[in-house]
Amino acid sequence: MIDSHLPALIALTFVLFAILIPMFGLWKPKSSQPLAVLGSGIASVLSLYAFATYLQTGSIRYFFGGWEPPVGIEFVYDGLSGFFVLVINTVAFFVLIHSRQVARREFPGKEMPYFALAMLALLGFNGMILTGDLFNLYVFLEISSLASYGLIAIGSRPAPYAAFRYLIIGTAGGTLYLLGVGFLYTVTGTLNIIDMAAMLPTFATNTSVVAALVLMVVGIGVKAALFPLHGWLPDSYTFASSSSTALIAPIGTKVAAYILFRIVFYLFGVELTDAVAPITTVIGILAAIGILYGSIMAIAQTEMKRMLAYSSVSQIGYIIMGLSLANPLGFAGALLHVLNHAVMKACLFLVAGNLRMKEGHSDISKFNDSYRKKYPWTMASFSVAAISMVGLPPLAGFFSKWYLALGTIDNENWIFLAVILISSLLNAVYFFRILEKVYMMNPKKDQKEGSDAERNEVGFSMMFPTSVLAIALFVIGFANAAIVGILFNIFPM
């Protein structure tokens, strides 16, 4: 009975908690964070259950108000949307557990609006993933964006300016997407994705369709921080508070990448996309440049959050590159990288949050060997996530790069293969310099007497999510064959 309502329930959980948090938060401000954790916890359990149901019985289509498409709006829970919903809700659950102490320290007294906004942002992300209607997608895009601007503006002194720049660029991108939807509507007369996908092949040569595809990809490319549309990302991630960054960084750009997947693979289909405009080639090249640019800029940074932000620009490139390969291996590699990168980036930003909590900064030049004594578990989690980012087996990061590399070989695209390999080396440069500062300097110091570093690890509510995400990287690494098997089945051709 409940199964057919699952797609709507996942999104509506966040609506419910976005209302509950202000109601209880005014009465008891301390109740906001537990409520947010409860909300995202319920949503992750529902997503897990829905994914298990999907594996047994197949896709679920939910018609709002019983109106069947193309008249009504529907939520589509298929393999792709189910996978993304599961990933983002689970990661958000762990990040929100971590936020309790960060929120109390970085913006005391503002927990209630913060967590209510977080719920709205998650509602927008879930809605964007689940909806089967192009205009509805625009509305959810704006809900998540407006909430994200608010979340980013909570932070250090220049944070509102970073959020304002993101608002200008992001809204312009959203408006371009809307214009693209308008072009498609004039041609097909429908907004439902499945309905429109059936009609589009007849209009492949129509110039409106070409313009619509380009406008939509550019508009969503802004949100996905696809090079060269990434300008808003480094400042936003650096100046926002640790908990906002940890919440938005692993999720926001992934969801935009999901829409690109939806447009290219499901709405147009790969063959039609290439017939309309050489989009997959162009975004593949942009992704390759973005991978190298992001890695090189990350090496040049001295602030850990800024370095991770540039690394995000590089990692989103892998996902878009997997999309541009348009073969099952590239598709599975890209989706596996969505999962891996969400877990790795969340873990790394939580580590940055832990260090900011205790040291008051996350400036790499001030890192030293006392950290391994002071924060043994935080630094251990950091090492695991960093090594996974570089891509050493048996950690998760290796396998997604492996499948992406196999995908490039399958297409005989040797330049992309070289880009993946070079970028892994560049990743090693910027992560190992931190590991070197923390673990390699003065190896004998621990045995000396009078080592001034006292053990000063962060509390359980911060350590637990950080280490769970780090352990998850091992689990994903060992279970990669099973996950990739599921992902191959999702591939739409």
Partner 1 sequence: MLDFFLGHYAYWFVVILMCVGLYGILFKKNLVKKTIGLAIFQVSVVLYFVSIASKWGATVPVKDSNIPVEQVANYLNPLPHTLMLTAIVVGVATLGVAFTLLMAIYNRYGTLDEQELLEKIQ
Which stretch, 96-104, 177-185, 323-331, 389-397, contacts partner 1 (CB under 8 A)? 177-185
Cβ–Cβ < 8 Å for 210, 253: no
Which stretch, 15-23, 106-114, 147-155, 446-454, contacts partner 1 (CB under 8 A)? 147-155
Residue 219 or 322 having the CB closest to partner 1: 219
Out of 22, 29, 34, 182, which residue is the one contacting partner 1 (CB under 8 A)? 182
Out of 7, 150, 234, 284, which residue is the one contacting partner 1 (CB under 8 A)? 150
Which stretch, 54-62, 182-190, 351-359, 405-413, contacts partner 1 (CB under 8 A)? 182-190
SS3 state at 1 = coil
Out of 76, 178, 320, 386, which residue is the one contacting partner 1 (CB under 8 A)? 178
Half-sphere exposure for 9 (CA within 13 Å, toward CB): 16
218 binds partner 1 (CB under 8 A): no
- The residues, any chain, with a CB within 8 Å of residue 75's CB and separated by 6 or more, are 7, 8, 11, 61, 62, 64, 130, 131, 132
Please state, in angstroms and as integers, the Cα–Cα distance from residue 89 to each residue in 116, 247, 263, 468, following that order: 16, 10, 22, 15
173 binds partner 1 (CB under 8 A): no
What is the 3-state composition of the chain as percent helix, strand, coil, each rounded to the nearest 5?
80, 5, 15
What's the angle, vertex CA 398, arms to CA 394 and CA 401, rounded to 5? 160
179 binds partner 1 (CB under 8 A): yes
The label of the residue with tokens 């913006």 reads: 107
The label of the residue with tokens 């996908």 reads: 197
The single-letter code of the amino acid at 53 is T
Residue 157 or 444 having the CB closest to partner 1: 157
Total count of residues recorded for the chain: 493
Give the C-alpha separation, 296 to 301, whole Å.
9
Cβ–Cβ < 8 Å for 200, 272: yes
Which stretch, 75-83, 153-161, 262-270, 457-465, contacts partner 1 (CB under 8 A)? 153-161
Residue 179 or 285 having the CB closest to partner 1: 179
Minimum Å distance from CB 360 to partner 1? Answer: 20
Out of 22, 113, 160, 231, which residue is the one contacting partner 1 (CB under 8 A)? 160
- Show the tokens assigned to 196: 């429109």
Out of 75, 125, 138, 318, which residue is the one contacting partner 1 (CB under 8 A)? 138
172 binds partner 1 (CB under 8 A): yes
201 binds partner 1 (CB under 8 A): no
Task: State residue 491 phi and psi, 5-degree precision.
Answer: -50, 125
Which stretch, 45-53, 160-168, 286-294, 310-318, contacts partner 1 (CB under 8 A)? 160-168
Residue 163 or 256 having the CB closest to partner 1: 163
Give the C-alpha separation, 155 to 162, whole Å.
10
Residue 74 or 142 having the CB closest to partner 1: 142
Residues engaged in binding partner 1 (CB under 8 A): 135, 138-139, 142, 146, 149-150, 153, 157-158, 160-161, 163-164, 167-168, 171-172, 175, 178-179, 182, 185-186
